[in-house]
Amino acid sequence: MINVVLVTPEIPHNTGAAGRLCLATGARLHLVKPLGFSLDDRQVRRVGLDYWKDVDLQVWESWDEFAAETSEERKFYLTTKSKNPHWDMEFRDGDYLVFGCETKGLPESLLEKNHEHTLTVPMVENGTRSLNLATSVGIVLYEAVRQVGL
């Protein structure tokens, strides 16, 4: 199983879409608080449709709690600030794909501390700053699933 981690997500639509992607691939969705919405928010449920209740979901109170409980696991940090394309990584069962919030991405300190484990979704240089969070999750998650298998 691949693990998708959303650190302080702000937009319920993106979290609902990520939940559906996780359910479709057998991945676990981890949400690290604070969240920019309530999990009871109808937008999360609407995007997740009637599937939301079936999503393998774990909610963490903080990054420190998440990091302590998963300290020995392989974690990959997705950022536009990396030169390492996600498709060059050899993913393994149990890996964690860590994504930051929609407006700020992952904290600089976290990226600096884990620079050798940062990955990016390559884009042409045309002024586009980043992709939508749910789109990025889908791209990287399906590459990991392609490698590991469903």
As a whole number of angstroms, the distance between CA 67 and CA 120 comes to 21
Q: Over 90: is that where the pLDDT of 33 sits? A: yes
Q: Given this model, what pLDDT does residue 45 score?
A: 63
**What was the pLDDT predicted at 47?**
59
Q: Give the model confidence (pLDDT) of 66-100 as tens digits.
A: 999 998 889 999 999 999 999 999 999 999 999 99
Q: Does 48 score more than 60 pLDDT?
A: no
Q: Where along the chain do its domains lie?
A: 3-148
Distance CA 77, CA 123 (A): 17
Domain range 3-148, its CATH number among 3.30.450.20, 3.90.1490.10, 3.40.1280.10, 1.10.10.10: 3.40.1280.10
At 68 the pLDDT is 94
State the pTM of this model.
0.92
Average pLDDT of the chain to the nearest whole number: 90
